[in-house]
Amino acid sequence: MKINAIYITLTVLVNFVIGALQGFQKIKKLAIISILNAAVSLPILYFFIISMNLIGVIIAGAISVLIHLLVALRFLMPTVHEKELCFHLNIDKKSIVTLLKYSLPLLLSIIILRPARLYGLSYLGIFCSFTEVGYYRVAMSLHNIVLFIPSALSIPLLPLISELQSDIRKRANMISRIIRLQILTILPVVVGLGLTSKYVLSILYGSKYTNADIITYIMLSAALLSSVFSTLGTLLQGTGRTRHILLIDIANASMIVMGSAYLIDLFGVNGLGLLWLVPAIILIVPYILYLIKTSDIDFNLIIVPLLLSLLFLSVGFVLISTLQGVALIISAVAMVTLLVGIESAILTEEDKRILIGAFKSVFNR
């Protein structure tokens, strides 16, 4: 708990610094920070798991976020000096009221959703075993690493949405294409990494973690939906609809709490993974329907990637549940090859232009 207190404090500071860089639209710096964080976190996690087992996961998280903060500050300070910014302690009541109206629903979302997820994890540890908690932790580490892929596309999104408040059609096209490209970019990685997760886990964490292959596949599938929810959440934040985010998180937390005991008793650690995946599947339907109704997204641009994800992830789950060894590896290679071929056929020239432009902006700004 003491280590977690340090972790939480440092995470708040990291988010503040990252938010400042995002506000200055330092896209290249944000991308470099994300890459460095991903590169540093995994070796640290691996070392501490080997050395200290489960407690090592917590220590690794605190050390990783400290390094993340120091790197982010190193990138922020030149911008502060460049803009000749001066900071003075002052209280402005009007600004505080405006800030509270905007941020209070987001704060309540965290207060509601985090304990709900902690409840599921605690239930797993108490009524199953801490070995299964370890399986969940390693699956979550791969889940978080995969999310760095769509993050590169969504870094400049919040300031762009704010700038496009008056042009709803252009904003809807931009959001829909980003979601489309996020899904098409991350899906082959999820399928390939998910189907070969037993071997990836053996290389990264040792043979005793190979039994975490199913939970890893589930958490990687949840990562794809998490990337979509992240973009849609950024859309709501950029347009000031933070209350909608609160309502979604209340519904999500309710399903987690109500389903924890049943799913974990039934499926063990895999049930905890389903508590990430199933609520996301249920909530994304009304979420997208609402945004279609308000003309915030273009459904025609995202329907094919969503159906493609549903098909390949479902087939992949059947394969990882029934096949082993060489047959599973061959199936993984075949599925990824087929998927890349299909995606190459459905990518439009506009998609390719935006994808290339997005990564150029990351390395040029």
DSSP for 291-341 reads: HHHTT-S-HHHHHHHHHHHHHHHHHHHHHHHH--HHHHHHHHHHHHHHHHH
Mean pLDDT calculated for residue range 169-195: 88
State how far the Cα of 203 lies from the Cα of 192, in Å rounded to an integer.
Answer: 16
Q: What is the model's pTM?
A: 0.78
Is the pLDDT at 316 greater than 70? The verdict is: yes
239/162 Cα distance (integer angstroms)? 7
Q: Spell out the domain ranges in the chain.
A: 1-83, 92-364
What per-residue confidence (pLDDT) applies to 154? 56
Looking at every residue in the chain, the average pLDDT score rounds to 85
The single-letter DSSP state of residue 33 is H
Mean pLDDT over 204-225 rounds to 90
Q: How confident is the model at residue 334 (pLDDT cuts 50, 70, 90)?
A: very high
* pLDDT at residue 175 greater than cutoff 90: no
Q: How confident is the model at residue 279 (pLDDT cuts 50, 70, 90)?
A: very high
> What is the pLDDT averaged over residues 159-174?
71
| pLDDT for position 95 | 82
- Residue 141 corresponds to which amino acid? S
Of 180-184, 197-201, 205-209, the range with the lowest mean pLDDT is 205-209
Residue 153 has pLDDT above 60, yes or no: no
Q: Which of 58, 31, 30 is CA-nearest to residue 44? A: 58
pLDDT at 165: 61
pLDDT band at 364 (very low <50, low <70, confident <90, very high): low
pLDDT at 327: 93
Greater confidence (174 vs 289) lies with 289
228-260, pLDDT tens digit by residue? 988 888 888 878 888 899 999 999 999 999 999
Task: Quote the pLDDT of residue 83.
Answer: 75
Measured distance CA(293)–CA(174) in Å, rounded: 17
What is the rounded CA–CA span in Å between residue 138 and residue 24?
34
Residue 70 has a pLDDT of 92
Q: What's 26's DSSP letter?
A: -
**For 295, left (φ over 0), alpha (ψ -120 to 50), or beta?**
left
Quick: pLDDT tens for 119-150.
Answer: 998 999 888 888 888 899 889 888 887 876 55
Distance CA 33, CA 136 (A): 26
Q: Is the pLDDT confidence value at 8 over 80?
A: yes
Q: State the average pLDDT over residues 96-106.
A: 84
pLDDT of amino acid 181: 85
For residue range 54-100, list pLDDT tens digits in order: 678 788 888 989 998 999 899 888 888 877 777 777 788 888 888 88
The larger pLDDT score, comparing residue 192 to residue 169, is at 192
Distance CA 314, CA 130 (A): 29
pLDDT number for residue 235: 84
Pick the range with the lowest mean pLDDT from 88-97, 285-294, 343-352.
88-97
The tokens for 248 are 């979604």
Q: Rounded to the nearest 5 degrees, what angle is found at the Cα of 236, between the Cα atoms of 232 and 238?
A: 110
> Mean pLDDT across the stretch 184-213?
89
